[in-house]
Amino acid sequence: MFNEVFNHWIPTKIYFSKGISNNLKDYIKGKNVLILSDPFIKDSGIAEKIGDSLTNKNVNYFSEIEPNPSGDTVDLATKLARDHKTDCVLGIGGGSAMDVSKIVACLTTNSGSIYDYYSGGKRKLSSRKTQLICIPTTAGTGSEVTNVGVFTNLETNVKMPMVHDELWPDIAIIDPELTYTLPAVVTASTGMDAFCHAIESYWNKESQPISDYISLGAMKLILENIENAYKEPENIEARTAMSLASLLAGLAFSQTRTTGIHALSFPLTSEFGASHGTACSISLPPFIRLVGKEKSKKMEMLAKFLGFSNVEELAQSIYELMSKMNMPLRLSDLGVEEKDIAHIAEVGLKAQIIQLTPAIMTQETVEELLLSYL
Amino acid sequence: MFNEVFNHWIPTKIYFSKGISNNLKDYIKGKNVLILSDPFIKDSGIAEKIGDSLTNKNVNYFSEIEPNPSGDTVDLATKLARDHKTDCVLGIGGGSAMDVSKIVACLTTNSGSIYDYYSGGKRKLSSRKTQLICIPTTAGTGSEVTNVGVFTNLETNVKMPMVHDELWPDIAIIDPELTYTLPAVVTASTGMDAFCHAIESYWNKESQPISDYISLGAMKLILENIENAYKEPENIEARTAMSLASLLAGLAFSQTRTTGIHALSFPLTSEFGASHGTACSISLPPFIRLVGKEKSKKMEMLAKFLGFSNVEELAQSIYELMSKMNMPLRLSDLGVEEKDIAHIAEVGLKAQIIQLTPAIMTQETVEELLLSYL
């Protein structure tokens, strides 16, 4: 049932507590702090509230991080970090802000541009000297406990993950309170993204028992709580459970990476404008059915653990859950047409993680799968 | 169901693979290696086989680590480590050898004796410079993934845990092959010790969701495999599962510590000569019944997850399992008499961990509990 050869390493210190983000002073080393966020987190006052609580620190802000952040944005934020001799980078937000904060913290004391180290660059990052603290404001990405950043090269329009041990945050601060104001549509898509992280870790060819048990917990919490969090934004119990689930899912996939669902999400995001969570979860029911056939014993165990009689019931239930949360259910809902299928398969197959799916993933099989939920 | 305020940190890199212990050269930094073990591991050839595989390293051995190791033994091993300018300490064995290796690696570049830092000593350990690798040869202790060492002060005859972040091993190597030669009686006692780690983490007042899910996995694996490992020493599947379970249990209790079962084991070990695993598991059924009353919802969930209809059935089944493995079942089997009960309770209550039990633990309640399985 379990892979019997595996490694496990998560060096990040995790602190989970409601309200903890208002009280971070004692976690921060040094004087000069740079807070990185997207414009929404800046406008909502979340970034400033955290910054203001850091009495006796010099706090600067960079709040121009866009969805699917580019290397160019990383370089801009890095310039600010260097100018202010930053001791600690705080990344506050969804995956985009946290991903940028990871590489900016590295580049503060590594010269050059992100492109020197990534997307064709040949230089190697030396040890990160600047402290890195990540604080999620959604319940989905799990980026606070991974060594991955995903960036887009604007010149080539390629969105690609960068994986490096220097990208592990020193500290992950999980404060469910920060998610209370998430719009329902974001609650749904980021929450289902977390479900994808967990299930893709569980069925991954590189799966392993430590992350397997953690991912089971994540999936159970999401199925039990996401609808309540979607319907009642201030349901504290549901929000806390979703923040926890996202953390667990992040811990799980940090060890295994993801699979075909994430691989196929890249073209759906960059070319059809779907949010990351939507672009992932749209593929969830068909992938559950596919993997259910290929890895039936382990998938049956999952279905039972989650309270279903079999894998088909689990797939159907996820489909209905997404429907109740008004999420796109078919590729055509994202504007995909039959003529696009071959291209989506082609782009998805370029991501190495697609081969971590426990099923044969070729141009032909992926096209067939995509057509089944066009 | 879950504690909503928690921290989590396990910086140790884990490598799990059959046969990996024969191939450790690439994991070791520096030239001078000191291998610490007990005489049994030395005589069995395990320590030497690992040492011989480290071609191009200067390997020294210290093989005089006794059960419930003393601070004096630590100081002896430290002298050797300093004399040989040790770059890497390899602790190979059960909890005793790994615990000693942890503090010896610290003391190699911290002057003085263990007693300067522990058991009344006032000095503080500075950062460990010497690499520390722990390799379990039993499936039980979990010490390879904790920041705890338990030592005995021979002058005061007090056995007490030392907890320090410098004691986290850099690397834990888990090689199930090393357990194939474990005698059946040790398989039983160390395996049930791991079960205690997992369940004491699960019901702990300091329990938390990450370790909860990991501990569930540990308990399931132990109940499914310990009897096979006991009866068929070379049952590879059972041995692998038990090594994995011990690792999972270690990860779990590294975050929560243990509870009353471990607290009461200290006098049973030091004064009645029981092995650590036996001294722990003898208290398991009565503690399961006690905690089942105090924390009924979480304990019912555990019983169901493990395939039982209720907590009483779980307790009874553990009792029967221990009986099948010819383990002592009542305190009188260890030579304890009614007149000893007050003293055992008194000594157990001195260990702070006893108050992490989710039940009232006083001289009166503990005596009553102990009498129930005299």
* pLDDT 10s digits, A259-293: 999 999 999 998 999 999 999 999 999 999 999 99
CB pairs under 8 A between A and B: 78
Give the model's pLDDT for residue A160: 81
Amino acid at B208: Q
pLDDT digits (tens, 9 = 90+) for B248-287: 999 999 999 999 999 999 999 989 999 999 999 999 999 9
pLDDT digits (tens, 9 = 90+) for A153-182: 988 888 888 999 999 999 999 999 999 999
pTM: 0.96
**CA B9 to CA A172: how far, in whole Å?**
10
**CA B163 to CA B294: how far, in whole Å?**
29
Residue A15 has its nearest CB partner, among B7, B18, B210, at B7
Amino acid at B257: R
**CA B31 to CA A235: how far, in whole Å?**
57
Give the model's pLDDT for residue A1: 60
Give the model's pLDDT for residue A256: 97
Asked whether the beta carbons of residue B14 and residue A9 sit closer than 8 angstroms, the reply is yes
Asked whether the beta carbons of residue B240 and residue A8 sit closer than 8 angstroms, the reply is no
Residue A122, SS3 per DSSP: coil
Average pLDDT score, chain B: 96
Give the model's pLDDT for residue A282: 98
**CA A197 to CA A249: how far, in whole Å?**
6
The whole-number average pLDDT for the span B161-178 is: 96
Which residues, given as ranges, of chain A have pLDDT below 70? 1
Asked whether the beta carbons of residue A14 and residue B13 sit closer than 8 angstroms, the reply is no
Q: Is B199 on the interface with A (CB under 8 A)?
A: no
**CA A233 to CA A312: how far, in whole Å?**
30
The whole-number average pLDDT for the span B162-166 is: 95
Q: Is A249 on the interface with B (CB under 8 A)?
A: no
Q: Is B214 on the interface with A (CB under 8 A)?
A: yes
Within 8 A of A8 by CB-CB distance, chain B residues are: 13-14, 16
Best CA proximity match to B11, nearest among B150, B179, B128? B128
Within 8 A of A133 by CB-CB distance, chain B residues are: none
Residue A18 has its nearest CB partner, among B4, B212, B214, at B4
Give the model's pLDDT for residue A203: 98
Give the model's pLDDT for residue B1: 60
Asked whether the beta carbons of residue A210 and residue B209 sit closer than 8 angstroms, the reply is no
Asked whether the beta carbons of residue B8 and residue A18 sit closer than 8 angstroms, the reply is no
* B119 class by beta-carbon count within 10 Å (0-12 exposed, 13-18 middle, 19+ buried): middle
Asked whether the beta carbons of residue A5 and residue B16 sit closer than 8 angstroms, the reply is yes
Asked whether the beta carbons of residue A214 and residue B216 sit closer than 8 angstroms, the reply is no
SS (H, E, C) B127-186: CCCCEEEEEECCCCCCHHHCCEEEEEECCCCEEEEEECHHHCCCEEEECHHHHCCCCHHH
Give the model's pLDDT for residue B119: 84
**pLDDT score of B88 more than 90:** yes
Nearest CA in chain B to A215: B213
d(CA B328, nearest CA chain A) in Å: 32
Asked whether the beta carbons of residue A209 and residue B216 sit closer than 8 angstroms, the reply is no
Backbone φ and ψ for B224, nearest 5 degrees, come out as -80, -20
Q: Which of residues 290-309 of B touch A (CB under 8 A)?
A: none
All domains of chain A in start order, with CATH: 13-178 (3.40.50.1970), 182-372 (1.20.1090.10)
Quick check: B33 and B87 in contact, CB under 8 A? yes
**CA A105 to CA A129: how far, in whole Å?**
8
d(CA A309, nearest CA chain B) in Å: 16
**pLDDT score of B290 more than 80:** yes
pLDDT digits (tens, 9 = 90+) for B5-44: 999 999 999 999 999 999 999 999 999 999 999 999 999 9
How far is C-alpha A13 from the geometric centre of its chain's CA atoms? 18
Q: Is B180 on the interface with A (CB under 8 A)?
A: no
Give the model's pLDDT for residue B48: 96
Best CA proximity match to B115, nearest among B85, B155, B84? B155
Give the model's pLDDT for residue B49: 96
**pLDDT score of B2 more than 80:** no
**CA A43 to CA A357: how far, in whole Å?**
40
Note the ipTM here: 0.95
Query: Which of A1, A8, A246 to mutate against chain B (most B CBs within 10 Å)?
Result: A8
Backbone φ and ψ for B187, nearest 5 degrees, come out as -55, -45
Asked whether the beta carbons of residue B217 and residue A212 sit closer than 8 angstroms, the reply is yes
Residue B209 has its nearest CB partner, among A4, A15, A248, at A248
Q: Which of residues 43-102 of B touch A (CB under 8 A)?
A: none
Asked whether the beta carbons of residue A5 and residue B17 sit closer than 8 angstroms, the reply is yes
Asked whether the beta carbons of residue B213 and residue A216 sit closer than 8 angstroms, the reply is yes
* A326 class by beta-carbon count within 10 Å (0-12 exposed, 13-18 middle, 19+ buried): exposed
Best CA proximity match to A280, nearest among A351, A365, A339, A338? A351
